[in-house]
Amino acid sequence: MKNRLLLITFCLASIFCRAQSGKPNNKIITGTKIVYLNYKDQKDSLHVPVVSEQYPALKEALSDKNIFNGDKIEELAAKYNGCGCGIISLYYDIALANDNVISIMLYYDTMGDHPDSYQEWFTLDVHTGKPYPLTNELTDAGADHFAVLYKKKLKQNIEADKELKPEDEIETEVYDDLMNTLNALTTKMIMSNYVFTTKGVLFKSDDVLPRDTHDHEPQRTLLVPYSQLKPYIKAGAVVLKK
């Protein structure tokens, strides 16, 4: 039992949050709660963003329950204590934060029968805690334009990956699945899966292939510089500036 003792230590560490201007902005995310996990000779940690009490709705949106798929940290710790499995690592980056909007990227590692790593991106209204779609900043024409641009780039990545592999190494249905899910992407979906960064807007879409063919997943991110967005900025935008 001694080797299976779970030691959990909480500490706060300051984090540097950058606004689009490049100036520090740390009044929203005031620190990091670090949970150290130990199981036998295995050591891991969870780095959880701490939201200022001045933003209660955002604090709820980024609560432990919401960023850990409904589980509490204590429940994750108990699972880790029993098997060294489940969500075993969490780190995050603040891609951009200003007085109205925050973009945060969460990086997870899991351990189990099939160890995995994945990301969750959130762009949220800091006052309401609700998702902040890019259509709040772009005109309809702009949203459609960049959705088409994203799908064009993703198609190029899918086709490039197919060309790199001999036909006997990639199943036709894998390529068909990728193209079908590409065609099913809507402007609304693309405009909701993004983060603001200091250099531009970074888009992505979720992986769709199962574990046994996941190696065929294409590159799914696309960075659009702010200069390309300027012609499509809505009046009243709070992040994008003409």
pLDDT at 135: 96
Domain range for residue 154? Answer: 134-232
Q: What is d(CA 10, CA 120) in angstroms, rounded to the nearest whole number?
A: 23
Q: Flag whether 55 is in a domain.
A: yes
Q: What domain count does the chain have?
A: 2
Q: Considering 106, 125, 144, which residue would you say is the last residue of a domain? A: 125
Q: What CATH number should be reported for the domain holding residue 40?
A: 3.30.565.40
pLDDT at 169: 57
> Among residues of the chain, what percentage have pLDDT more than 90?
72
Q: What is d(CA 7, CA 98) in angstroms, rounded to the nearest whole number?
A: 36
Q: Flag whether 237 is in a domain.
A: no
- pLDDT band at 8; cut points 50, 70, 90: very low
The amino acid at 10: F
Within 13 Å, how many C-alpha atoms sit on residue 7's CB side? 11
Same domain, 117 and 28: yes
Q: Flag whether 65 is in a domain.
A: yes
- Is residue 84 over pLDDT 90? yes
Same domain, 78 and 185: no
- Note the helical H segments in 45-94: 56-61, 64-67, 73-83
pLDDT at 114: 82
- Is residue 215 over pLDDT 80? yes
Quick one: 139 exposed, middle or buried, by C-beta within 10 A (0-12, 13-18, 19+)?
middle
Q: Considering 125, 156, 181, which residue would you say is the last residue of a domain? A: 125
Q: What is d(CA 119, CA 224) in angstroms, rounded to the nearest whole number?
A: 20
Lowest-pLDDT range, 87-91, 100-104, 118-122, 157-161? 157-161
pLDDT at 21: 29
Give the Cβ contact number of residue 28 at 10 Å. Answer: 23
